[in-house]
Chain A
Amino acid sequence: MVEIVRYLLGGWLADWLIYLIAYIIVTTILLIVAPLTMMMQVWFERRAVARMQDRLGPNRVGPAGLLQSIADGVKMFTKEDIVPRAADRWVHLLAPVIAVAPVMFMLAVIPWGRGVVPATINVSVLFVVAVSSVSAVGLMMAGWGSNNKFALLGAMRAVAQMVSYEIPAVMALVGVVLLTGTMSMAVYPELQSGIPIMGDTLSKYGVPDLGLGWFIFTPVGFVGFILFYIAVLAEGERTPFDIPEADSEIVAGYMTEYSGMKFAVFYLGQFVLNYALSMIAAIAFLGGWQGPGVGLLVATGEPFLVFLGSALSVLYLMIKAWFLFFVMIWLRGAFPRLRVDQLMGFAWKFLLPMALVNIFSIAIWVSILNWGSAQGLWFLDDLELWMRQLIAFVVTALINGLAYYGLLQLNARPKGLTGADLAEEQAFGTIGLPQR
């Protein structure tokens, strides 16, 4: 964008002004894309969930109900904005802003396509993780500022959930950081070229670059993806982790006292956050904009084909992100929600240990791929890269599988309890896993 602006206006404008204008344009585009995406998401969710429930979704407003989101938006705009008299006015007003602004920040560092990164930071993973924690402050402000004990309870639960599930998410991402050696998310898709499982290791033998060397096809990436995706569900308050906004449980949780546009801002923030986190999951584990054809097109070097490759890469990322969002909808249509104690137990007793084990596996993976006799692993010296990849694959698969099985056993409901003991164990104990 900077180059484009400079090309158009470079003559008579100072440099800083060019940058400013360029970034203003980029920001505007992002801030338009986000609500439009959210409208599409709402339509998609309502129609997909309906089909899963053997019914049609909204289909009267516009063709196939596409204008339903606009109708809902108009409704929210025209609703009266009610603020409880005893509420803390400023806190109540700023809560939606603080809950939603970080989500927009996240959109800035995501590589939307090959060469389409609004802001290139070399610590973008850190940035994303740090910024997503600020949303929790917004939630707490919403609950407290409403002067409503149910809102407060709901906010506390929501914050506990968010904070608890950030840890496995971050741990999973840390694994990817180890794997790739960089925190810059923009680089991740480039490193996932090649063929499944073997990745890039066979490229020097003439195997074409299919763009499918995604991390998910490795055991460490697979486990990491599952962990990260479950954590993302909880971050975005999707079923089965939607206890903060469960309609039948706690009124509307921290959103109870919000009406009209403020509620719409919360709603928007939630959907955009889910979409952004789906994109990050796709980038880190599913290859991001990488896909069959992108590498080939770009390698030709012709400007038009390179442009075509970039466009294709944008399309690939969109497909992957929408697919992950569809899986979110799928899970919503299939599962009941977890109780809040089951939720917390699941995060701390299963996901976090598994994530730690995964980090350990990744370390082993990296060492097998990169180390040699200099680090004391003389038996790895003469092996080709693809051999190392295979060995690492097997070893880490073993480690992860054993860890999974072990954790299931550890968390299983103790056998032999009856009556009151069983009830007590269930209430404060495990996450509902069956008897050993």
Chain B
Amino acid sequence: MTAETPRTSNVFVVDRGEPKLRGGQGLLAGLGVVIRHFGKAFTKKIESPAESSGLFTVQYPEERLAMPEAYRNFPILLYDDQTGHELCTSCFQCERICPPQVIHMTQASDPTTGKPVPAVAEFIIEYDACMSCGLCAEVCPFDAIKMDHEFELSNADHSTMTVNKAGLDRPISYYESIAPTMWAEVRDGAMKKLQGNMKRRSGDIGIAPPMKGKVQTSAPAPAAAKPAAPAAPAKPVAAVGANMSDEKKARLEAIRAAKAAQAAQSGGATPEVAAPEASAKPVAAVGANMSDEKKARLEAIRAAKAAAKAAQEGGTAPEAPAPEAAAPAPEAPAKPMAAIGSNMSGEKKARLEAIRAAKAAAKAAQEGGAAPEAPAPEAAAPETAAPEAAAPAPEAPAKPVAAIGSNMSEEKRARLEAIRAAKAAAKREASNDES
């Protein structure tokens, strides 16, 4: 008796082609499959996951499976093979995003100016707590931190699990060898950014420890040529920046010389030669690292001062070297003059400025009549004598005048000083007239 259960859904009959009467054919087929696997296991080794027979075993540690490119284990820092510069700028993004907060870093700063530079001073990752999420590599804008493939890091010494920058640094060629496609996608952008960052690093800041001493560092700070002592005159003067170009430095010194001349004049009524350095007041010692030009100029200044003093005592009229009254203001206020070309050499600029100052002085003299102070632009005797005599950078007459901004261009500065000189001259006239 058979019970028929009523069928409520479709019934699909699958015909697998099995023979009606099975007398062991299936068993033999199964034996055939197994013996095929047995044979293949001696002759073939599985290379890709798509194969179904062959030896599957990877005899670790003699053989290892190749990791896919995007395999991530622990982070490493990259540095350029040729220049030795690390890509890391200590931007802090990886430390910020790290979930277990195992990344720690400090930014490098310039040893002379103290300003931060886009390089990392020390970088520490605690490998034992790192969870290999790869977020630091994802978020790094400079492609400096990447995920390594190395996983055989077991160690009996726990302290080796905290890795510092020297332990994290790897050349870009290493990363390229383990993840070529991923590196090729980001290489151009990363190298461009690296070039930009390299410009802002000085000395051997940002060079990976393995490459230190082997690559040429950028031009050392020019302060090395001009040592610290003479670079800072007695007056509070901003130190000559280490990164200043030579032209800038020459101009700055021209300005200072002019001021010094002016001061000396107010004190001794004798214009000086274009002397960049020091004034009648306490003179810094001639530094041992001074260049010869500087030395010459310094001597010239001192000679001029001495002459002025002598002249003063001698009561002679102002001397001739009006033209060299190295005025800080290169241009005469009345005539619109061509701006100093930016491509002029330093010396040329200084000379030009001196000439212009002399011209202006002559004019002022003409306008100012027989005022004994020939180098009118510099007169401002009461003004300059009173406050810090010949304060170079921020010229502060009795009127409060805005300090010359450090970011002003040369031309602006020159014009400003010319204006001030003119004003001073006018004032002198007024006072002269009054008195």
A334 contacts which chain B residues (CB < 8 A)?
30-31, 33-34
By DSSP majority rule, is chain B's interface helix, strand, loop, or mixed? loop
- Please tell me if the beta carbons of A419 and B37 are within 8 angstroms of each other in the complex: no
- Please tell me if the beta carbons of A335 and B27 are within 8 angstroms of each other in the complex: yes
How many residues of chain B have a CB within 8 Å of chain A?
A: 28
- Please tell me if the beta carbons of A55 and B57 are within 8 angstroms of each other in the complex: yes
**Interface status of B426 (Cβ within 8 A of chain A):** no
- Please tell me if the beta carbons of B20 and A417 are within 8 angstroms of each other in the complex: no
- Please tell me if the beta carbons of B21 and A405 are within 8 angstroms of each other in the complex: yes
A331 contacts which chain B residues (CB < 8 A)?
31
- Please tell me if the beta carbons of A51 and B4 are within 8 angstroms of each other in the complex: no
5 interchain pairs, CB-CB under 8 A: A51-B37, A51-B55, A331-B31, A405-B21, A436-B20
- Please tell me if the beta carbons of B53 and A408 are within 8 angstroms of each other in the complex: no
Asked whether A56 and B59 contact (CB < 8 A) given A331-B31, A434-B22, the answer is: yes
Expressed in whole angstroms, the minimum distance between the Cβ of B199 and any Cβ of chain A is 58
B342 contacts which chain A residues (CB < 8 A)?
none
A54 contacts which chain B residues (CB < 8 A)?
37, 40-41, 46, 53-57
Listed in ascending order, the chain A residues whose CB lies under 8 Å from chain B are 48, 50-56, 59, 330-331, 333-335, 404-405, 408-409, 412, 416-421, 433-436
Listed in ascending order, the chain B residues whose CB lies under 8 Å from chain A are 1-5, 18, 20-23, 27, 30-31, 33-35, 37-38, 40-42, 46, 53-57, 59
Considering only CB atoms, which chain B residue lies closest to A407 in the complex? B23
Other 16 A-B pairs with CB < 8 A, given A54-B53, A334-B31, A418-B4:
A48-B38, A51-B37, A54-B56, A54-B57, A55-B55, A55-B56, A56-B55, A331-B31, A335-B27, A405-B23, A408-B23, A412-B21, A418-B3, A420-B3, A434-B18, A435-B20
- Please tell me if the beta carbons of B31 and A421 are within 8 angstroms of each other in the complex: no
CB < 8 Å neighbour of B5 from A48, A333, A418 = A418
Asked whether A333 and B56 contact (CB < 8 A) given A51-B41, A417-B2, the answer is: no
- Please tell me if the beta carbons of A418 and B2 are within 8 angstroms of each other in the complex: yes
Expressed in whole angstroms, the minimum distance between the Cβ of A103 and any Cβ of chain B is 28
Expressed in whole angstroms, the minimum distance between the Cβ of A364 and any Cβ of chain B is 22
- Please tell me if the beta carbons of A52 and B38 are within 8 angstroms of each other in the complex: yes
CB < 8 Å neighbour of B21 from A409, A419, A421 = A409
- Please tell me if the beta carbons of B57 and A56 are within 8 angstroms of each other in the complex: yes
C-alpha spacing A418/B23, complex, angstroms: 24
C-alpha spacing A22/B268, complex, angstroms: 138
B3 contacts which chain A residues (CB < 8 A)?
418-421
C-alpha spacing A98/B70, complex, angstroms: 62
C-alpha spacing A52/B59, complex, angstroms: 17
- Please tell me if the beta carbons of B30 and A421 are within 8 angstroms of each other in the complex: no
Expressed in whole angstroms, the minimum distance between the Cβ of B347 and any Cβ of chain A is 82
- Please tell me if the beta carbons of B23 and A330 are within 8 angstroms of each other in the complex: no
A59 contacts which chain B residues (CB < 8 A)?
59
Expressed in whole angstroms, the minimum distance between the Cβ of A333 and any Cβ of chain B is 5
C-alpha spacing A51/B44, complex, angstroms: 11
- Please tell me if the beta carbons of A433 and B22 are within 8 angstroms of each other in the complex: yes
C-alpha spacing A51/B42, complex, angstroms: 7
Expressed in whole angstroms, the minimum distance between the Cβ of A45 and any Cβ of chain B is 13
- Please tell me if the beta carbons of B22 and A333 are within 8 angstroms of each other in the complex: no
B23 contacts which chain A residues (CB < 8 A)?
404-405, 408
C-alpha spacing A371/B295, complex, angstroms: 141
